Each structure stands twice: as C-alpha cells, then as structure tokens.
C-alpha cells in the first residue's frame, strides 16, 4: 500500500485565478465602503429633512406665494384655487379649528391630486388621521354639489371652436371622448353588494363611472349617483347613464374597444369611432400615453 493513500490533498489554485479573485475582492470592498458612505450621507440628509419639516409646519400660507408648489399640490393655479375657495366657502364649514378653510381645501385637493394617505396629510398639517377623515367626509359631498353645475354638455359650435388641430384632420365631428374609470372601495360585508362591485379588471371591489371629455380636454359628462359597481359592463353603464339622450345627428364619439355601442349610437344618428392605435391592445403603455400627450400638446401649440 502506497504511503499517503487515502489522504486528501489541497487543490492548488493557479496564480492567475488567485490574482484575479484578489483584485475583484479589492474592488468589491472599495464599492462596499463607498456605498456605506453614501448610505450614511443619505441617512444624515433624511434626518435633516425630518427636522426641517418638524420645525417648519406645512400650511397654505407656506406655499400660497409659490405658484409652482400650489400647482404641484393641487393641480390648480393660484387664481383658480382662490376662485374655488370663494365658490365653496359659503357652503362648507371648518371641521378642525387649527386649520384654516384654505387648508381644509388644500388637504382635499392634495388627496385627489396626489393620492396621499390620510396619515401622510395628517402628519403634514400636524393633526390626527381622524381630523383628515372628518374633513373629507364633511367637505367632499358639499363640494360635489356646488361644483357639479360646472359640468356642462357644450353645443356643437363650442366644440368646433375649441377643437385642437390634431382632431380636425380625422375627427372633425368628434363631440366627445368617453371612457369608464373605477375607484377602489372597501369590500362590502353584504355578499350581493360584494359580488356587484367586484371588478375582474382591477381585481378589487370598485365603483365605476362613465366620464365624457371634449376634444379640448374639458369634462363634459359624468354618470350620476354612485355610478355602477365594478362588475357592470361599459356598455350597460353607458345605457343607464343617460348619455345617449345627449347625442345628435352626425355626432362622432371616440371610445376604446370595450364600448360595443355602435347600434345604440346609430339609432340617434351618431357614430362610434375607435382610434386605430388602440386596436389589438389590451391597454396602452405608460410610454405610449406620454407620447400621445406630447403629440397633442405639440399640435395645440403650433
């Protein structure tokens, strides 16, 4: 029997491989150290921002002179925000005494514009989540009633007068662009209501509304009441909304493929137009939406 038989021998790593691994280890160690420095720097900046936020309470007065910030938080210009405030001030009341009426309206618009949670908004205004919830429940229904008359169905002359150039080439008779939008709701405890509001498209319980928009971008139609449950089809919701009663001869309605309403419109002398770029697609990508938006803006300014 040979000496050393059965004993394990250490594998020898070639020098080139060893040097390569050593170099990679050195590079990774350097990158790790740099990342740790960046993390510590970001942590310090984060703490500084938190301290600044604590020492500078968020309020309407802190942004009202900054038009860009008003637009960012509310989606409105300062002039329109002031007009909206004057329009609703006699119909609403202050729910939280530490906040002004301007801040009540600002909180609601931030919720609608940015989709912020009640906790986020409460933290910004230094109030409780319960306060923000009360503001929403108190002011939103009143604002809805006060502002609802602003949604008007315009005449053909008004549509043609404000029609963007990009529509005139192919959709000269376009009266309205329609689509359905859904909003998440809590799952109802009632089984029937739960089934009626469950949306297969959103995989969630929702309420659905039919929204109509002029070629110029103004909201001209909104289905009434609670809209429909997420289970209702676009076709059924359109029929129940009273939208067909507004149609006139030679009207063109733009919609996506989900609206199988050609016959219903034809009875009233109107036509359904489905833009070609939606054919064969379930939904436009975010990039395609941005491209369309950029194209429309370009056409409107040239």
pLDDT in tens, 194-227: 998 998 888 899 999 999 999 999 999 999 866 7
The CATH number fitting domain 151-301, selected from 3.30.160, 1.10.287, 2.40.10, 3.30.420: 3.30.420
Tell me if 174 sits within 8 A of 167, measured CB to CB: yes
Listed in order, the ranges of the chain carrying CATH 3.30.420 are: 151-301
- Measured distance between the N- and C-terminal CA atoms of the chain, rounded to whole angstroms: 95
Q: CB under 8 Å to 88, separation ≥6 — which residues?
A: 105, 139, 142, 143, 146, 147
pLDDT in tens, 148-184: 898 999 999 999 999 998 888 888 899 999 999 888 8
Average confidence (pLDDT) over 32-46: 91
For residue 1, the model assigns a pLDDT of 47
Angle at 81 between CA 105 and CA 124, to 5 degrees: 40
38: Cα separation from own chain's centroid? 33
Tokens representing residue 173 in the block? 């008779």
For residue 163, the model assigns a pLDDT of 92
- The share of the chain scoring above pLDDT 70, in percent, equals 85
């Amino acid at each position: 029997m040979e000496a050393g038989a059965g004993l394990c021998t250490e594998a020898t790593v070639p020098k080139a491989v060893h040097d390569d691994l050593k170099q990679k280890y050195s590079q990774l160690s350097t990158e790790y150290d740099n990342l740790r420095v960046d993390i510590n720097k970001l942590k310090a900046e984060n703490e500084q921002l938190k301290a600044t936020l604590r020492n500078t309470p968020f309020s309407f007065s802190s942004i009202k002179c900054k038009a860009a910030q008003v637009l960012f938080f509310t989606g409105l210009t300062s002039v329109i925000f002031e007009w909206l405030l004057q329009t609703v001030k006699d119909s609403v009341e202050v729910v939280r005494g530490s906040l002004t009426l301007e801040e009540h309206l600002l909180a609601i618009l931030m919720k609608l514009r940015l989709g912020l949670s009640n906790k986020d908004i409460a933290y910004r205004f230094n109030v409780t989540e319960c306060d923000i919830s009360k503001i929403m429940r108190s002011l939103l229904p009143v604002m809805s009633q006060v502002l609802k008359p602003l949604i008007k169905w315009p005449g053909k002359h008004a549509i043609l007068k404000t029609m963007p150039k990009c529509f005139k080439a192919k959709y000269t008779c376009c009266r309205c662009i329609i689509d359905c939008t859904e909003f998440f709701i809590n799952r109802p405890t009632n089984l029937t209501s739960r089934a009626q509001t469950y949306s297969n498209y959103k995989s969630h319980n929702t309420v659905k509304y039919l929204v109509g928009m002029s070629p110029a971008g103004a909201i001209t139609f909104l289905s009434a009441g609670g809209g429909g449950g997420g289970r209702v089809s676009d076709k059924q919701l359109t029929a129940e909304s009273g939208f067909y009663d507004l149609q006139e001869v030679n009207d063109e309605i733009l919609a996506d493929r989900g609206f199988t309403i050609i016959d219903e419109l034809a009875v009233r002398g109107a036509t359904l137009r489905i833009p070609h770029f939606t054919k064969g697609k379930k939904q436009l990508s975010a990039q395609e939406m941005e491209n369309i938006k950029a194209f429309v803006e370009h056409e409107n300014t040239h």
